[in-house]
Structure 1
Amino acid sequence: MGHLDETLVGSIIDHETGTGKLDSIHHMISKDEEISILRAPIGHREDIDRLIWPYEKSGRHTVKSGYH
């Protein structure tokens, strides 16, 4: 595989325009994957990342929700 920087998600995001730039990975993905990536919303840099478990209102993982 190429350089590590080429495999990071940040390397395919144009942070100025908030859009994807897939030139560096175009040869590795299908047209359907490209469309899916370009449709995915890109968050704002000032937003804080956090883990969320979507199967609980609290956003926290529970054994019960994991089991279901």
Structure 2
Amino acid sequence: MFEAVDLARLQFALTSIYHWLFVPFTLGMTVTVAILEWTYVSTGKEVYKKMAKFWGKLFTL
């Protein structure tokens, strides 16, 4: 079946893939929500406030 080294390599691969996908996504979402908040404050348009609130809720899950 599988040896311990094979399972360790599989675990490392899955951890690396998870890290490679979700860390850039969360950093990008942080910047996106910050830009939306800043745009709302500078323009006063409610659509940016709603967008920031929507994406902020998804981001904090």
Superposition TM-score tier, normalisation by shorter sequence? under 0.3
Structure number with greater Rg is 2
Greater per-residue helix proportion? 2
Greater per-residue strand proportion? 1
Higher relative CO (Cα under 8 Å, sequence separation at least 6) belongs to 2
TM-score, length of structure 2 as denominator length: 0.25
TM-score, length of structure 1 as denominator length: 0.23
